[in-house]
Structure 1
Amino acid sequence: MHLDMDAFFASVEQLDNPEWRGKPVIVGGYGERGVVCAASYEARKYGVHSAMPIVQARKLCPHGIYTATTRGRYLELSRKVMDVLHSYSPVIEKASIDEAYIDATGTEHLFGSPLELATSMKKGIYDSVGLTCSIGIAPVKFLAKIASDYNKPNGLYAIFENEVASFLAELPVRKIPGVGKKFVSKLDELGVTTCGQVLEYSAEFWERRFGKSGIALWQRASGIDDREVETATEAKSESAENTLHKDTLDKALLKKWLMRHADRVGQNQRKYGLKGRTITLKVKYSDFQSLTRSKTLPDPTNTTDVIYQVAADLLDAIDLVKPVRLIGLGLSNYDNSGVEQLNMLDHMQHGCSGVIRATEQQRRLDKALDAVRNKFGNKAICRGSLFKFKEDD
């Protein structure tokens, strides 16, 4: 099964703001400079969709309700949704914040047929979080994902084993996950628009034509997908970034944002017991040219001040030749085998070798902030350096 929450971010905003229900709600990034993260189904009727510039969305739907993301709330409800799914099957693969794959093998004696199971899941999620979802049922993962997009919102669609061949025969190739616009245009040149037409050519033909991508296309058109539902996927990195309200050359303002991002990334890493060695700075100029700079530390870290200071040093080393429109940072190269060393002198963060390491005071500060936020929410307390910092500055 593939479960996909319906217009998740927008639906959460409508849930928390009942007066917005039934109205076009657009969740987006920052001011007029951002992009649409999610659009309610009422907004989609006007042509608004995710990844669309906010400026364009306002032209299409000037009377819509525009709101910023509330990521902490989305994560909270996402966890509740996953808890519901785990009450039905132990084999759950979280594909993103609002979607998951479920292996329903062997659940029939507990929950009935796959359709009965899916119906029960949908009710369980609605009772738990007050939101609807759509579920697709199929013998393999890619078909389940396609099926979940049918009958949205609040949909339920099943493709059974004996229906796979007929379903695929008429399925447009653009519906196959991973087949992008460029690939579709190349297939158009061959007169191939459906999976049935793909099978008019041999697997060898597709391999000669497109290599591994050609083989993958032929397999999907044949209904082949050997991927299993993976109960755990190893995290590789975490990042945070934002598009600024106005382009700027002000490094002091950019550093405020870096602290904001380091605070969020560090908090999440500590929550899941993760540490990384590599901190990466991302800068995008006003002309959309991007650059990244990275530094790898000898010791893994999840300390907010360390993540921030490394990113700030990387920023200081850059000669900003143009105004900046986006700033971000990331932590990667995870290594939980080592121990983050402590400074011998707590008042000195940069060691004699120039390496930045966490002080015991910084560790205690992180622990205290995490405890308050876990109990009272992320908005209950902030770091002094971010006091009175406004995200529309």
Structure 2
Amino acid sequence: MSPDAIRRPAPAPGTVRTEQVWKRFRADQQRMLLRDRVDAAVRRLRGGRGEDWRWALRDISLRIEPGESVGLIGSNGSGKSTLLKMLTRVMYPYAGVIDVRGRIGALIEIRAGIHPDLTGRENIYLFGALLGLRRTEVAGRFDDIVEFARLGGAIDRQVKFYSSGMQMRLGFAVAAYLEPHVLLVDEVLAVGDAVFQQRCLDRMREVLEQGTTLVFVSHDLPAVESICARGIWLEQGAIRVDAGIREAMAGYRDSIEAQSEAGARTGEPVRLVGHEVRGEERENLTTDEPMTVELTLAGDYRGDATLHLGVSEGTASPIFQLSHEVRLAGGDHRLACVIPRLPLPRGRYTLWAGLYGIGRTDGGTLMSWHSVGQFDVFGPLLDTPPRAVVLAAPVFVPHQWEE
């Protein structure tokens, strides 16, 4: 028998595969990338069609195995939600192949898969039927869905009378409890309250333990890092990094910091022209020991202002932030902030700063919030709990145990 006659086994349920996927939209002129504008201009010069297109995805090839947890990260407009919608077959590619095996549970929009004229109960059974489940199978999970969504008596009310939060809870519960082979979750969880968000994260960990494949899109990087083992960083519609979640996160965070540092601050009244981060007697920074941050500001501005200083693990949301009122008299202004006991475990951190005028009527920004630089801390590592149990807290607090 020739090799061509041997059929390869079909991919297992839960497998996600894309090959050379491209997707384009008719462009909003104000959002087109420069290279897209140039391409369109060249086509017109060559006598081609004058239509302008914006490429949302460019040559996306990836394979996700059953049971993998993958986080899609990237800035707004990078193509994350577009890729997720194509995996659900809500959209189709301009070119390339998309193959998702097995039942798909998806929450990509608040009302995705929910019919407003049907009741919550009817929507649950309809969704189950679309997944190919028998009515008895859906009935066996019905109570869990209603309890998770916390709909109570509203389950027999038409969904069009639900609040957006109720619709989102129903949509996630249906997607996550009808045992899909692949669960796709977009940023829509951000509309829920903190308690429900945590319950959703816990449920996603449960379905991962059951062997479900998870693709998670979110700007909440700590949540993505706590759930996903693999990260795919999209930038301008292309895969920039496909690696372990920590490596992908590190690359994305470094990019954010580089963009912040390179951001133009011309026209701002005050500039940060120098800084130094040091430990005790200029030694290395160490957990639970003193840390000093010295800053030098320059500019012609005269008046009172508030300086905000923050420390983060990469994004602009600080682990902690300190504020101080200063009086600027023009020229250089030096000041220092001393933290007697640094509450950070071993690792690399980013220093952020911003300066805002007091009593100004123009919005108050004297120096916009931006990344100043990075520094390393030596000391103990936090014990990281199993990924499916709980989020790791980022701040080290000295403590002791007694029994």
Larger Rg over CA atoms: 2
Higher relative contact order (CA 8 A, sep 6+): 2
TM bracket, shorter-chain basis: under 0.3
TM-score by length of structure 2 reads: 0.23
TM-score by length of structure 1 reads: 0.24
Structure with the higher helix share, 1 or 2: 1
Structure with the higher strand share, 1 or 2: 2
